[in-house]
Amino acid sequence: MRWTPGGVSEDIEDRRDEGGGGGFGGFGGRGLGIGGILILGVLSLVFRRDLITPFLGGDGTAVSAPNPAKTAAEQPEVEFVSFVLDDVQRTWTRLLPESGAAYRHAKLVLFRDATESGCGDARSATGPFYCPQDEKVYIDLGFFDELKARFKAPGEFAQAYVLAHEIGHHVQKILGIEQNVRSQMRADPGEQNVLSVRLELQADCLAGVWGHSTQNRDILEKGDVERGLAAAAAVGDDRIARAAGARVAPERFTHGSSQQRVSWFRRGLERGTVAGCDTFVRR
Residue 150 confidence (pLDDT) = 76
Q: What angle do CA 129, 131, 132 make, to 5 degrees?
A: 135
Coil/strand/helix, residue 199: helix
Task: Report the share of the chain in percent with pLDDT over 70.
Answer: 81
> What torsion, rounded to 10 degrees, do the Cα atoms 165, 166, 168, 174 define?
180
Is residue 39 predicted with pLDDT exceeding 60?
A: no
Residue 156 confidence (pLDDT) = 84
Residue 224 confidence (pLDDT) = 84
Other C-beta atoms lying within 10 Å of the C-beta of residue 192: 15
Find the distance separating the first CA and the last CA of the chain, reported in whole Å.
Answer: 34
Beta strand segments in 35-167, E: 107-110, 114-117, 120-123, 129-131, 136-139
- Of the two residues 147 and 19, the one the predictor is more confident about is 147
Question: CA–CA separation, 129 vs 252, rounded Å?
Answer: 19
Residue 70 confidence (pLDDT) = 63
- Of the two residues 78 and 219, the one the predictor is more confident about is 78
Residue 69 confidence (pLDDT) = 55
Question: CA–CA separation, 159 vs 166, rounded Å?
Answer: 11
pLDDT in tens, 182-228: 999 999 999 999 999 999 999 999 999 999 999 888 888 888 888 88
Average pLDDT, integer, range 119-138: 94
Other C-beta atoms lying within 10 Å of the C-beta of residue 242: 13
CA-to-CA separations, 113 to 15, 31, 193, in angstroms, rounded: 10, 17, 28
Listed by start position, the domains of the chain span: 18-55, 68-277
* Band of residue 65 on the pLDDT scale cut at 50, 70, 90: low
Is residue 115 predicted with pLDDT exceeding 90?
A: yes
pLDDT in tens, 171-190: 999 999 999 999 999 999 99
Coil/strand/helix, residue 65: coil
Question: CA–CA separation, 168 vs 90, rounded Å?
Answer: 13
Which residues, other chains included, contact 167 with Cβ-Cβ below 8 Å and sequence gap of 6+? 85, 88, 89, 92, 106, 130, 137, 206, 207, 210
Is residue 109 predicted with pLDDT exceeding 50?
A: yes
Residue 130 confidence (pLDDT) = 96
Mean pLDDT, the chain, whole residue set: 83
Is residue 245 predicted with pLDDT exceeding 50?
A: yes
**pTM score of the predicted model:** 0.80
- Of the two residues 97 and 228, the one the predictor is more confident about is 97
- Of the two residues 128 and 243, the one the predictor is more confident about is 128
* Pair 32, 26: CB distance under 8 Å: yes
HSE of 21, CA atoms in CB hemisphere, 13 A: 6
Average pLDDT, integer, range 250-273: 94
Residue 282 confidence (pLDDT) = 61
* Band of residue 125 on the pLDDT scale cut at 50, 70, 90: confident
Average pLDDT, integer, range 108-132: 94
Coil/strand/helix, residue 71: helix
Rounded to the nearest 10 degrees, what angle do helices 177-187 and 192-216 cross at? 170
Question: CA–CA separation, 50 vs 263, rounded Å?
Answer: 52
According to DSSP, the β-strands at 129-131 and 136-139 are: antiparallel
